[in-house]
Amino acid sequence: MNLLQWGPYGIECPQAGVFIDPWGKVDRALLTHAHADHARYGHKHYMAHAHNRAVLRQRLGNNISLQEIEYEETIEINGVRFSWHPAGHIPGSAQIRVAGNNQIWVVSGDYKTENDHFTPAFEPVKCSHFITECTFGLPIYHWKPQAHTAQAIADWHLSNVNQGYSTLLYAYSLGKAQLLIHLLKNLCPIYIHPSIAEMNRALHAVGFGLPELPLISAWKPKVDAPALFMAPPGASNEKLLRRLSPCKEANVSGWALVRGMYRRQNLDNGFALSDHADWPGLLSAIKGTGAEHIYCTHGFTSEFSKYLSEQGYQSTEIHTRFLGDAAPEPMSTLETDESIH
Amino acid sequence: MPLQSLCPPLKRMKAFTDLYHRLNQTNSSIEKQQALEVFFRNAPDRDAVWGLALLSGRVSVRLVGSRRLRGWVAECTNLPEWLIDESYQHVGDLAETLSLLLAPYRIASSDNSASASTASASTTASTASTASASTTASTASASTASASTTASSQDLSTIMLDLIRLKKRDESEQKEYVLHNWRQLDGPSCFLFNKFITGGFRMGVGQGIAVKALSNYMNRPVSEITQALMGNWDPADYTLERLLNRGSIHSHTLPYPFFLASPLLSSASAAEPSDQGGGESIQNTALHQLGSRTDWMAEWKWDGIRVQMILREGVSSIWSRGEERLDDAFPEIAALAHLLPHGTVIDGELLCGEFPAVRSFQDLQKRLGRTKPSARMTTQQPVFVYAYDLLELDGQDIRRKALSERRWLLERLVETLNHPLLHASPLIEGIEWSDLHQKRLESRRHAAEGIMLKRACSVYESGRKRGHWWKWKLDPMQLDAVLLYARPGHGRRSNLFTDYSMAIWDQERMRLLPIAQVYSGLTDTEIREVDAWIKGHATEKFGPVRTVVPQLVFEIGFDGIQRSGRHKAGIALRFPRILRWRRDKSASEADDLGIAENLLNDRNLDENLLNNRNLDENLLNDRNLDENLLNEPTKQEPN
Beta bridge partners of B384: B351
CA distance B102 to B121: 14
Same domain, A161 and A55: no
Rounded to whole angstroms, what are the CA distances from A88 to A93, A123, A141, A176?
A: 7, 8, 18, 12
Domains identified in chain B, total number? 3
pLDDT digits (tens, 9 = 90+) for B191-206: 999 999 988 888 777 7
Query: Residue B194: which of B89, B74, B93, B339 has the closest Cα?
Result: B93
Rounded to whole angstroms, what are the CA distances from B247 to A105, B145, B226, B317, B538?
A: 75, 44, 9, 16, 57
- pLDDT tier at A337 (50, 70, 90 boundaries)? low
Contact B590/B504 with Cβ under 8 angstroms? yes
Pairing relationship of beta strands B262-263 and B296-302 according to DSSP bridges? unpaired
Rounded to whole angstroms, what are the CA distances from A287 to A84, A129, B133?
A: 20, 12, 16
Residue A93 scores a pLDDT above 70 = yes
Residue A339: inside a domain: no
**pLDDT score, position B299:** 94
**Residue type (1 letter), A1:** M
- pLDDT tier at B133 (50, 70, 90 boundaries)? very low
Same domain, B482 and B469: no
Same domain, A242 and A282: no
**pLDDT score, position B76:** 94
Same domain, B339 and B427: yes
CA dihedral over B170, B47, B154, B178, signed as positive or negative: negative
Residue A159 scores a pLDDT above 60 = yes
Residue B503: inside a domain: yes
Mean pLDDT estimate for chain B: 78
Measured between CB atoms, does A148 come within 8 Å of chain B?
Answer: yes
**Per-residue b or e along B387-416, where b marks 16 or more CB atoms closer than 10 Å to that residue's CB:** bbbbbbbeeeebbebebeebbeebeebbee
Mean pLDDT estimate for chain A: 90
**Per-residue b or e along A133-144, where b marks 16 or more CB atoms closer than 10 Å to that residue's CB:** bbbbbbbbbbbb
Same domain, A151 and A176: yes
Residue A84: inside a domain: yes
- pLDDT tier at B424 (50, 70, 90 boundaries)? very high
Residue B509 gets the label, from left (phi > 0), alpha (psi -120 to 50) or beta, of: left
**pLDDT score, position B119:** 33
pLDDT digits (tens, 9 = 90+) for A270-295: 999 999 999 999 999 999 999 999 99
CA distance A133 to A340: 12
Same domain, B292 and B438: yes
Measured between CB atoms, does B202 come within 8 Å of chain A?
Answer: no
Query: Residue B344: which of B390, B306, B407 has the closest Cα?
Result: B390
Same domain, A76 and A130: yes
**pLDDT score, position B493:** 63
Residue A197: inside a domain: yes
Q: Which of residues 319-338 of A touch B (CB under 8 A)?
A: 322-329
pLDDT digits (tens, 9 = 90+) for B577-622: 898 898 888 888 899 988 888 887 765 544 444 443 333 333 333 3
Identify the three-state secondary structure at position B325.
Answer: strand
**pLDDT score, position B151:** 40
List all residues 6 or more positions away from A213 whose beta carbon is below 8 Å from its beta carbon: A181, A190, A191, A192, A197, A200
Same domain, A227 and A193: yes
Q: Kindly report the nearest CA distance between residue B224 and chain A, in angstroms.
A: 32
Measured between CB atoms, does B282 come within 8 Å of chain A?
Answer: no
Q: What angle do CA B558, B562, B563 make, to 5 degrees?
A: 140
Residue B44: inside a domain: no
Same domain, B98 and B183: yes
Same domain, A199 and A252: yes
DSSP letters for B547-567: EE-TT-EEEEEESEEEE-TTS
Q: Do A300 and B90 touch (CB under 8 A)?
A: yes
Mean pLDDT of A245-250: 91
List all residues 6 or more positions away from A218 whose beta carbon is below 8 Å from its beta carbon: A191
**pLDDT score, position A90:** 96
CB pairs under 8 A between A and B: 105
Q: Do B100 and A140 touch (CB under 8 A)?
A: yes
CA distance B457 to B404: 6
Nearest residue in A to B529, CA atom: A332
Same domain, B191 and B336: no
Domains identified in chain A, total number? 2
The C-alpha torsion from B241 through B242 and B248 to B253, rounded to 10°, is -130
Contact B459/B397 with Cβ under 8 angstroms? no
Query: Residue B523: which of B581, B476, B574 has the closest Cα?
Result: B581
Tallying the residues shown for chain A, one arrives at 341
The residue among B473, B502, B523 that closes a domain is B473
Contact A177/A192 with Cβ under 8 angstroms? yes
Identify the three-state secondary structure at position A147.
Answer: helix
Pick A140's closest partner by Cβ from B101, B128, B130.
B101
Q: Do B541 and A278 touch (CB under 8 A)?
A: no
Q: What share of chain A is helix, strand, coil (3-state, %, to 5)?
A: 25, 25, 50
Residue A80 scores a pLDDT above 90 = yes
List all residues 6 or more positions away from B67 whose beta carbon is below 8 Å from its beta carbon: none
CA distance B176 to B243: 33
CATH classification of the domain holding A180: 3.40.50.10890
Pick B77's closest partner by Cβ from A139, A322, A326.
A139
- pLDDT tier at B121 (50, 70, 90 boundaries)? very low
**pLDDT score, position B597:** 84
Residue A311 scores a pLDDT above 50 = yes
Residue A324: inside a domain: no
- pLDDT tier at B61 (50, 70, 90 boundaries)? confident
Q: State the pTM of this model.
A: 0.68
pLDDT digits (tens, 9 = 90+) for B372-398: 788 888 899 999 999 999 999 999 999
Same domain, B467 and B508: no
CA distance A249 to A245: 10
**pLDDT score, position A215:** 96
Q: Kindly report the nearest CA distance between residue A6 and chain B, in angstroms.
A: 21
Identify the three-state secondary structure at position A40.
Answer: coil
Mean pLDDT of B53-62: 82
Residue B112 scores a pLDDT above 60 = no
The residue range of the domain holding A310 is 5-141+275-317
The residue range of the domain holding B412 is 259-274+285-473
Residue A336: inside a domain: no
Interface-testing mutation among B190, B492, B522, B527, with chain A (most A C-beta atoms within 10 A):
B492
List all residues 6 or more positions away from B578 whose beta carbon is below 8 Å from its beta carbon: B276, B500, B518, B520, B521, B522, B554, B555, B556, B557
**pLDDT score, position A260:** 74
Over pLDDT 70: what percentage of chain B? Answer: 78
Specify the DSSP class assigned to residue B465: -
Over pLDDT 70: what percentage of chain A? Answer: 92
Contact B343/B392 with Cβ under 8 angstroms? yes
CA distance B22 to A247: 16
Residue A76: inside a domain: yes
How many other C-beta atoms are found inside a 10 Å radius of the C-beta of residue B627?
Answer: 9
Same domain, B450 and B495: no
Measured between CB atoms, does A152 come within 8 Å of chain B?
Answer: no
List all residues 6 or more positions away from A243 whose beta carbon is below 8 Å from its beta carbon: A221
The residue among A246, A271, A296 that closes a domain is A271
Pick B80's closest partner by Cβ from A280, A310, A328.
A310
Query: Residue A203: which of A56, A87, A65, A72 has the closest Cα?
Result: A56
Give A236's contacts in chain B (Cβ within 8 Å). none
The residue among B197, B216, B236 that closes a domain is B197
Query: Residue B351: which of B329, B376, B388, B382 has the closest Cα?
Result: B382
Residue A335: inside a domain: no
**pLDDT score, position A95:** 98
pLDDT digits (tens, 9 = 90+) for B473-513: 887 788 999 999 998 877 666 678 888 999 999 888 888 99
Same domain, B463 and B481: no
CA distance B484 to A295: 33
Same domain, B452 and B483: no
Same domain, A69 and A215: no
Query: Residue B18: which of B1, B2, B42 has the closest Cα?
Result: B42
**pLDDT score, position B2:** 36
CA distance B574 to A132: 49
Q: Kindly report the nearest CA distance between residue A68 and chain B, in angstroms.
A: 34
CA distance B255 to B347: 9
Residue A176 scores a pLDDT above 80 = yes
Contact B449/B302 with Cβ under 8 angstroms? yes
Same domain, B441 and B481: no
- pLDDT tier at B462 (50, 70, 90 boundaries)? confident
Contact B194/B83 with Cβ under 8 angstroms? no
Residue A171: inside a domain: yes
Residue B73: inside a domain: yes
Q: Do A264 and B492 touch (CB under 8 A)?
A: yes
CA distance A262 to B384: 48
Same domain, A24 and A170: no
Tallying the residues shown for chain B, one arrives at 639
Q: Do A258 and B494 touch (CB under 8 A)?
A: yes
Give B497's contacts in chain A (Cβ within 8 Å). 327
**pLDDT score, position A15:** 95
H runs (alpha helix) in chain A: 53-60, 146-162, 176-184, 194-205, 239-242, 259-263, 279-289, 301-310
Please tell me whether the peptide bond between A330 and the residue prior to it is cis, using omega within 30 degrees of 0.
no
List all residues 6 or more positions away from B272 whose beta carbon is below 8 Å from its beta carbon: B580
List all residues 6 or more positions away from A195 whose beta carbon is below 8 Å from its beta carbon: A173, A231, A232, A235, A335
Q: Do B495 and A258 touch (CB under 8 A)?
A: yes
